[in-house]
Amino acid sequence: MPELPDVEGFRRTFARHAANKTVSRVEAVDRTMTRKTSPRSLARALARRRFRDPYRHGKLLICPTGGPALVLHFGMTGSLEWSSGEPRHRHDRLVLVFADGELRYRNMRKFGGIWLARDPKALESITGRLGPDWLEVSPARFRERLGGRRSSIKAALMDQKVAAGLGNLTADEALWQARIDPRRRVSSLDEREEATLYRKIQKVLRDSLPHGLVPAKRSWLTGSRDHRGGSCPRCGTRLERTRIGGRTTVFCPREQS
C-alpha cells in the first residue's frame, strides 16, 4: 500500500500513540530489516527514550526522540499497527513497547527498512537522496526539477529524486486525471500540461490524505484499474495496460494520447 497518503496515515498513528511517550523497550526486531544498524543497537538506542512528533518525507517516516531518530520505510507491504492486547502478527518486524500498548511495524514482503539516525548528519544521509516532499514542492520547483529529463513523464513522477512521495497508483491516477499519456517524454509537455499535472497530483494526494490510503473511488482510475477489462470511468473506453519503469501502468487510450 504505502505511497505518500498511506505513510501519512502511519504518521498519524505514530503521533496518536507514540509521540510524547516513553518507549519501555524494543522487541522482535527482524535483523534482515535493519539498515546500517543492528537489532541490538536499535533497541539500546531507543529504550527509555521519549518520542517527539513524527514527520514524513516522501515515503519515509521519521520519528525523532531528541537523541537518535527512528526512520521507517514501508516498502510495498508495510504498515504500522497499534495494539493493546491482540497477539502479535507473524509479519511484525519491530515492536515498540509502551506502558499502554505496543506499536508494531508490520511488513510481509520485507522491502523497505528500519534505520537509526544518531544525529542530523546521519539523518541527512538517509533522506538526502530524495527530492522535496510532494506536499511541499511549488509548481515552479516541480517544473525546474522535471526539466531536462529525457524519460517518460510517468518514470519521472516515480523518481523520488524529482519530488518524493508518488508511487505507481498516484502517478497513474494523476496522469489519468490530467489526461496525459504516461508514455510521453517529459520534454514533450507544454507549460499548460505541466501546470495541470501539478494540480492533479496535489489533488490526488490531498483527496487521499483523510483516508490514509489511495481510495478506490468509482470516479477515479483507482476504482477500475484492478478489474480485468476495466473501463475508463469518464468515457467508458476499455483501459489499456502496459509497463513503464517495471511497473504496471493503466491508462485510457482514448483520453490519454
11, 56, 59, 154: which is the annotated catalytic residue?
A: 59
- Does position 59 bind DNA by CB under 7 A? yes
- Does position 244 bind DNA by CB under 7 A? yes
| SS3 at position 193 | helix
- Does position 151 bind DNA by CB under 7 A? yes
Residues 6+ apart with CB under 8 A from 107: 33, 74, 75, 77, 78, 79, 91, 93
- Does position 152 bind DNA by CB under 7 A? yes
Cross-strand pairs, 188 = none
Handedness of CA 248, 249, 253, 254 (dihedral sign): positive
Q: Which of 23, 72, 94, 155 binds DNA (CB under 7 A)?
A: 155
Active site residue 2: yes
52, 141, 149, 247: which is the annotated catalytic residue?
A: 247
Amino acid found at 71: V
| SS3 at position 169 | helix
Site string for DNA, 60-79 (x = CB under 7 A): -------------x-xx---
What is residue 200's DSSP assignment?
H
Q: Which is nearer to DNA, 24 or 257 (CB)?
A: 257
Q: Which is nearer to DNA, 14 or 74 (CB)?
A: 74
Q: Which is nearer to DNA, 52 or 91 (CB)?
A: 91
Q: Which of 20, 66, 150, 192 binds DNA (CB under 7 A)?
A: 150
| SS3 at position 167 | coil
Cross-strand pairs, 101 = 98
Q: Which of 129, 136, 210, 257 binds DNA (CB under 7 A)?
A: 129
Question: Other C-beta atoms within 10 Å of 10: how many?
Answer: 24
CA pair distance 119, 180, nearest whole angstrom: 42
Q: Which of 21, 52, 91, 145 binds DNA (CB under 7 A)?
A: 91
Question: CA torsion 13→14→15→16, rounded to 10°?
Answer: 50
Active site residue 110: no
Q: Which stretch binds DNA (CB under 7 A): 46-54, 62-70, 80-88, 244-252?
A: 244-252
Report which of 24, 18, 19, 28 is spatially closest to residue 99, judged by C-alpha positions. 24
Q: Which three cell numbers stand for residue 176?
A: 489519468
- Does position 32 bind DNA by CB under 7 A? yes
Q: Which of 43, 117, 158, 205 binds DNA (CB under 7 A)?
A: 158
Catalytically active residues are: 2-3, 59, 247
> Binding residues for DNA, per CB under 7 A?
1-3, 6, 32, 58-59, 73, 75-76, 90-91, 108-112, 129, 148-152, 155, 158, 160, 167-169, 213-214, 243-248
